[in-house]
Structure 1
Amino acid sequence: MSGYGERRRSQAERDAITVEIGYALFSAVFAAAVLFGAVAGPALLFELPPLAEKVTLRTGLVLAPLIFLVRVVSVLVRFRGGGQPSHPGRTSPDS
């Protein structure tokens, strides 16, 4: 089950991953909701011409899941690539 170069993660590492996944999902839902509200909100709140209402609703329905995926991926990639500095309380030499 364990491959070459693979090591067991500590409880702290597993907790950090869990927190980061939760943050990624929560912030992605928030970003998608804000974007949907900004794009499709006028169609839901005001009486618009049928074509404008249809376009804004569909645009919101397309962009919201897209921004959700982009946000989740960007947060998780940044977490995976960033890591922690080698010395607590200090910045890493490459920063």
Structure 2
Amino acid sequence: MTTHGGRRRTQAERDAITVEIGYALFSAAFAAAVVFGAVAGPAFLFDLPGPLETLLVRAALVVAPVLFAVRVVSVLMRFRRSAQPSQPGRTSPDS
């Protein structure tokens, strides 16, 4: 449980990381569900030709997990960049 500088993380830092991971997972799951519904929804709601229905469902099954992974990584990378001060031992100017 140490950061890059070798010091131990405080409880507040660990809590912030936990909250950010939860936010990343929840927002990614929500976005993936919305995209899955938008892409595969017409296949379930309307009587479409068989190949088109299959194409929509398979496209949704590919796009949704990719979106989930991209969203989780982007949120956590943004948190990682914003959590580090600009100079060691000093707070960042916007804090």
TM-score interval (norm. to shorter): 0.7 to 0.9
TM-score w.r.t. length of structure 2: 0.85
Counterparts of 1:43 and 1:84 in 2: how far apart (Å)? 46
Match of 2:82 in 1: 82
Counterparts of 1:25 and 1:59 in 2: how far apart (Å)? 22
Moved over 3 A (4+): 1-5
Maintained 8 Å contact 2:24/2:72: yes
CA RMSD of aligned residues (A): 2.3
Report % sequence identity: 67
Give 1:4 shift.
7.7
Change (3 A) 1:49 1:26: same
Maintained 8 Å contact 2:32/2:65: yes
RCO (CA 8 Å, sep 6+): is it higher in 1 or 2? 1
Query: Does residue 35 of structure 1 match 2:35?
Result: yes
Structure 2 gap segments, 5+ residues each: 86-90
TM-score w.r.t. length of structure 1: 0.85
Give 1:3 shift.
9.0
Query: Does residue 91 of structure 1 match 2:94?
Result: yes
Query: Does residue 5 of structure 1 match 2:5?
Result: yes
Maintained 8 Å contact 2:2/2:9: no
Counterparts of 2:3 and 2:27 in 1: how far apart (Å)? 33
Structure 1 gap segments, 5+ residues each: none
Q: How many residues align?
A: 90
